[in-house]
Amino acid sequence: MSKPDDTMEKLVSLCKRRGFIFPSSEIYGGLKSCWDYGPLGVELKRNVKEAWWQHMVRRRADVVGIDCSILMHPKVWETSGHLAGFNDPMVDCKTCKARFRADTMESQVCPKKPSKRPGECDGELTEPRQFNLMFKTSMGPVENSDSVVYLRPETAQGIFVNFKNVVDTCRMKPPFGIAQQGKSFRNEIVTENFIFRSREFEQMEMEFFVPPAEADKWYEFWRDARYAWFTDLGVNKDKLRLREHDSDELAHYSKCCADIEYEFPFGWKELEGIANRTDFDLQRHAEATGRDLRFFDDQSKERYFPHVIEPALGVDRATLTFLVDAYDEEELAEGDTRTVLHLHPSLAPIKAGIFPLVKKEGLPEIAHNLEDELRSEFNVFYDQSGAIGRRYRRQDEVGTPFGITIDFDTKTDQAVTIRERDSMAQERVALDQVKNYLRGRVLPEQA
C-alpha cells in the first residue's frame, strides 16, 4: 500500500472533488476550521456514528442512550471545573501577531518563516496566558452577565446531570452506561489538519457507572473493547496503538487514562481517550445542587457514588482516521494506478454501483428496477454513462464495495455480475438474490 507524504493533500482534494467534505461558507472565502459534509461525507459520518451506536448501545443490555441540549445551565460548567480550568496556554507573537499554543510549540512553525519555530524567528513572544476554550453566548433578548450561557465543550456533563433521571426511569443498576452523540464546541487556539481539530465537532461519549471496586476491571474492558472496535472496522493494527498516560499527564480527577492513537500522515495523534473519572463528577454535581446523586443498592442496602469509566471519541476524528486508513493508490498490472478507498462495507457511503452495460435494449429498465428494490435498504448509485471500467474506478475512489453490472445475458439468465472493490473479482449472482447478497456483506452487524 503506498502512503506518500502527500496523502493528506490528496485526501483533502478527493474529499472536495467527490463531495465528502467542503470548507464551510466557501463562497464567502471559507470560515477557518469549520467544515461542511457533502452528500457522500454525510453518509460516511452517519455510518461511523451508527457503527458506534450499534456497538455501544443497541447490542448491549447494560447501556442506554441520551440526547441532551447543547446549551446547559451555566452552573454545570462551574461545577465541572470547565469555567476555571478548561484552558490552554496561549502565546502571541508581538511582531506578526500569530497566536500559538504554548504547550505544543515544538510542532508549530512561524507563519512568516515556516522553516523556524515560533520565537526562533525575529519575532518576540508574549508570556503564556491561560485562554478558556469555551464559546460564550447569551440567552434571551438582553445581553448581560446573567444571560451568559456556553456551548458545551463536551457531551459528558449532560450525561452526569441526567444520571438520576436515567436510574429512576429505566431502573438501571451499576454496572451500566449512558451514551451520547452530539456536537461540541471548543474555541481551540490552533486548529489543524483538516477535520482532525476544529472548533465545532461531534463527539461520541459513554459514561459507564460501576461499583468502585469494579472500576479497574471495567477500565481494562472498555480500553480493549474500544481498540477492537477500530480494528474490527478494518483499521490497520500497525497504525493503531494504545498509550497509557503517565501519572503526571492525568487530569486531577482521573485515576487512569489511555489514548488510542493513530499514525496519521502528520504523526501519531490521539484518536480516542478512555479514562477512569472516579466519582469526581457525580460528587461535584451533588455538592453543588444539594441533590443526592448516590445510587441506592436495594440488595446490599448500600448508598454510594458509582465510579465512571469514560470512552470519549470525536466523530470527525474517527471519520478522518477511516478515510486516511482506507486511502490507497494501487499499481495495477497494466502499469496504471487506481485510487481506492478500502472502507469497511458497513462504513462505505454507497454500498453498490448499478451499471447497465449499455443505455439501450432494456438494460436500463432492469437496472432501475434493481435500484428501486435495493434502495429501500441500501444507499446505491445508478450510473449508465461511460465505459464500464471507468464507472468501476469512479466508485473505487469513493469506497463503494460492490459494482453490479446488468449485461445482455441478464435478459436470458436473470443474473448480474457483481464486482468486488478490493479484489476486483467478479461473480455471477441471480437478480433475485442481489439483496440477500448485499445483506450478508454490508450491514453494520458485520462490524
Interface with ligand ATP by CB under 6 A: which residues? 154, 186, 188, 197-198, 201, 203, 270-273, 312-314, 316-317
Q: What's the farthest any 2 CA atoms get from each other in the chain?
A: 79
Give the angle subtended at the CA of 264 by the CAs of 263 and 267, to the nearest 5°.
70
Quote helix, strand, coil % in the chain, to nearest 5.
Answer: 35, 30, 35
Cα dist from 59 to 44, 55, 65, 300, whole Å: 21, 6, 12, 29
* Consecutive H or E run containing 416: strand 415-420
Distance CA(189)–CA(415), nearest Å, equals 57
- CB closer to ligand ATP, 66 vs 96: 66
- CB closer to ligand ATP, 172 vs 206: 206
Q: Which 3-state string (H, E, C) describes 306-327? A: CEEEEEEEEHHHHHHHHHHHHE
Nearest to 228 by CA among 276, 178, 196, 272: 272
Q: Are 155 and 182 in contact (CB under 8 A)?
A: yes
Measured from the CB of residue 187, what is the shortest distance to ligand ATP in angstroms? Answer: 9
- CB closer to ligand ATP, 116 vs 136: 136
Distance CA(311)–CA(220), nearest Å, equals 11
Nearest position to ligand ATP, beta carbon:
314
Measured from the CB of residue 201, what is the shortest distance to ligand ATP in angstroms? Answer: 4
Cell numbers given for 149: 450561557
- CB closer to ligand ATP, 153 vs 349: 153
Measured from the CB of residue 287, what is the shortest distance to ligand ATP in angstroms? Answer: 23
Measured from the CB of residue 229, what is the shortest distance to ligand ATP in angstroms? Answer: 13
Measured from the CB of residue 395, what is the shortest distance to ligand ATP in angstroms? Answer: 29
Measured from the CB of residue 186, what is the shortest distance to ligand ATP in angstroms? Answer: 5
- CB closer to ligand ATP, 186 vs 419: 186
- CB closer to ligand ATP, 184 vs 400: 184
